[in-house]
């Protein structure tokens, strides 16, 4: 699977890199991309190449947080053709629902799942990358772009209750505080934004039903860019549902507007099977979470939808040939060495 995203992030990166004295053309050529992606925002490029550009830029200079700087400059128009529809939704909850529905026009990688807990909403930003560690830069870019979208509805000065990152805090969080506000939590179980339920459902003063209908008609005429998009949709949905143990094919199909039988038929036509996708997503997330010393093995088991640690350990050993505890120990030793 090649996970594709729009090149809009690199057009933003180009502006920021030049201002910092970095040659963006050299950066994209270094990872095998053509320079046209720096000024053509609607190209589809491999997500891994975007991640590599940002990581190389972060390591090659004092430009330590290029992903966050791109996020800080993100605007509604950077969501491309979907932006008009998003701007005119009646509430933020409706915005995120339509973002999910038309995500095939934006990114194969990013998904936002909303969970209501008492009087708050947790908007979890998930990256489907196929890598155990997506990298700090793309994670911060995705969460920052989501915050931009929230502020379209809630106002430019709006601040979330808290912003969470699963990676450790960098040496300096001054830029993070400038972008996200003071309530930051690193080494968290999730990447995302916490806000009040009232804010999630607050009426959008910019909403226009007729413009939204016009935008929806236009978007519905756009073809899906890939034939195997259904498999990507299943992967993203599993990333959202696994932590709550809701990974049955019937529930995933319901989230995608399909019966279990229809979903399995579409997957078969794409040369995929539901069980193999569940294993694939679990394997990716298992390595991602076990790579975090702050996340216990029992917590990892829960995040992958296992009700018992023993069941998770048996599954992991069958997949990787070692126990999760041994894999973590060896991974940490390699990192320290």
pLDDT of 111-140, one tens digit each?
898 999 999 999 999 998 888 889 999 999
Q: Both 195 and 151 in a single domain?
A: yes
Domain count, the chain: 2
3-class SS string, 99-127: HHHCHHHCECCEEEEEEEECCEEEEEEEE
Q: Can you give the CATH number for the domain in which 317 is found?
A: 1.10.10.60
pLDDT of 192-218, one tens digit each?
999 999 999 999 998 999 999 999 999
Average pLDDT value for residue range 297-324: 91
Domain hosting 265: range is 229-336
pLDDT at residue 66 in the model: 93
Q: Both 147 and 235 in a single domain?
A: no
Q: Both 23 and 123 in a single domain?
A: yes
Q: Both 161 and 34 in a single domain?
A: yes
Q: Both 266 and 172 in a single domain?
A: no
Q: Both 312 and 175 in a single domain?
A: no
Q: What average pLDDT does the chain have? A: 90
pLDDT at residue 2 in the model: 76
Average pLDDT value for residue range 145-161: 95
Q: Both 180 and 240 in a single domain?
A: no
For residue 335, the SS3 value is helix
Q: Both 193 and 240 in a single domain?
A: no
pLDDT of 179-195, one tens digit each?
999 999 999 988 999 99
DSSP secondary structure string, 194-256? Answer: EEEHHHHT---TT--HHHHHHHHHHHHTSPPS-TTHHHHHHHHHHHHHGGGT---HHHHHHHT
Residue 330, pLDDT > 90, answer no
Higher pLDDT, 325 or 224: 325
Residue 146, pLDDT > 90, answer yes
pLDDT at residue 124 in the model: 93
Domain contains 218: no
Percent of the residues in the chain that have a pLDDT greater than 70, as a whole number: 98
pLDDT at residue 228 in the model: 56
Residue 1, pLDDT > 70, answer no
Domain contains 42: yes
pLDDT of 18-71, one tens digit each?
988 889 999 999 999 999 999 999 999 999 999 999 999 998 767 789 999 999
Domain contains 217: no
Name the helix (H) or strand (E) containing 54: helix 47-59
For residue 45, the SS3 value is strand
Taking the model in full, what pTM does it have?
A: 0.82
């Amino acid at each position: 699977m090649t996970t594709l995203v729009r090149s809009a992030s690199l057009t933003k990166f180009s502006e920021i890199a030049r201002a910092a004295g970095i040659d963006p053309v050299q950066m994209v050529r270094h990872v095998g991309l053509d320079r046209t992606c720096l000024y053509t925002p609607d190209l589809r490029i491999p997500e891994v190449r975007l991640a590599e550009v940002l990581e190389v830029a972060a390591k090659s200079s004092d430009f330590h947080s290029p992903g966050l700087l791109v996020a800080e400059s993100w605007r509604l128009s950077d969501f491309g053709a979907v932006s008009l529809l998003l701007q005119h939704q009646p509430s933020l909850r409706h915005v995120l629902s339509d973002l999910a529905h038309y995500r095939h026009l934006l990114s194969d990688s990013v998904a936002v799942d909303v969970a209501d807990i008492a009087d708050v909403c947790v908007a979890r930003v998930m990256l489907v990358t196929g890598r155990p560690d997506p990298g700090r830069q793309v994670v911060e870019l995705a969460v920052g772009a989501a915050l931009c979208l929230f502020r379209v509805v809630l106002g430019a000065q709006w601040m979330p209750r808290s912003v969470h990152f699963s990676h450790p805090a960098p040496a300096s969080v001054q830029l993070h505080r400038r972008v996200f506000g003071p309530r930051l939590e690193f080494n968290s179980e999730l990447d995302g934004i916490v806000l009040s339920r009232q804010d999630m459902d607050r009426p959008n003063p910019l909403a226009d039903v007729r413009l939204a209908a016009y935008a929806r008609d236009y978007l519905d005429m756009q073809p899906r860019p890939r034939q195997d998009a259904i498999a990507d949709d299943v992967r993203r949905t599993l990333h959202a549902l696994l932590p709550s143990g809701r990974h049955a094919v019937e529930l995933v199909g319901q989230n995608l507007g399909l019966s279990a039988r229809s979903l399995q038929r579409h997957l078969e036509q794409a040369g995929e099977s539901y069980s193999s996708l569940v294993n694939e997503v679990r394997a990716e997330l298992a390595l991602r979470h076990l790579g975090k010393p702050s996340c216990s093995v029992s917590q990892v088991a829960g995040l992958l939808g296992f009700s018992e640690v023993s069941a998770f350990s048996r599954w992991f050993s069958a997949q990787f040939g070692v126990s999760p505890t041994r894999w973590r120990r060896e991974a940490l030793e390699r990192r320290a060495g």
